C-alpha cells in the first residue's frame, strides 16, 4: 500500500480523504470526542509531495484468489466476505447491501 501511495500525489490525496472519512466513522461508531491517533500522523505528513501521476489503479493487498484486475472494490468485498466476517458486526448502521446479497 505504501508503494501505491508514494507512486502519485493523487494516490496520497485519495488516501488522505479516506483517512478523514474513517476518522469520522470512528468518532461516530465509538462516540469519541477526539480524533483517532492516525489523524496526528496524517497531519505530520500533510506537507509531503510526490510526483503527480494521476490516480493509479488501487493496490489489492490480499490473497491472489480474491484479486480482480481493475476492480479493487469488488475484490475487497470478496475478500471481506471470504476471510473477515468473523469479526464484522454492525450496531449503529445497517449491514451493507453487498454483504446481505452474498
Give residue 48's pLDDT band: very low, low, confident or very high (50, 70, 90).
confident
Residue 39 burial by Cβ neighbours in a 10 Å radius (0-12, 13-18, 19+): middle
**What's the average model confidence in pLDDT over 2-17?**
91
Query: 46 pLDDT exceeds 90?
Result: no
Domain spans in the chain, listed from the N-terminal domain onward: 1-56, 60-102
Task: Identify the band that residue 2 occupies on the pLDDT scale cut at 50, 70 and 90.
Answer: confident
pLDDT tens for residues 56-98? Answer: 999 999 999 999 999 999 999 999 999 999 999 999 999 999 9
pTM: 0.84
Burial class (CB in 10 A: 0-12, 13-18, 19+), 31: exposed
Amino acid at each position: 500500500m505504501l508503494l501505491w501511495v508514494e507512486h502519485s500525489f493523487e494516490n496520497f490525496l485519495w488516501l488522505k480523504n479516506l483517512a478523514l472519512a474513517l476518522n469520522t466513522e470512528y468518532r461516530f461508531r465509538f462516540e469519541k470526542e477526539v480524533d483517532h491517533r492516525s489523524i496526528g500522523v496524517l497531519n505530520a505528513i500533510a506537507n509531503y509531495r510526490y510526483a503527480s501521476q494521476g490516480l493509479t489503479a488501487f493496490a489489492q493487498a490480499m490473497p491472489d484468489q480474491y484479486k480482480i484486475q481493475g476492480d479493487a472494490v469488488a475484490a475487497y468485498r470478496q475478500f471481506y466476505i471470504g476471510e473477515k466476517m468473523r469479526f464484522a458486526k454492525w450496531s449503529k448502521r445497517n449491514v451493507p447491501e453487498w454483504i446481505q446479497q452474498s
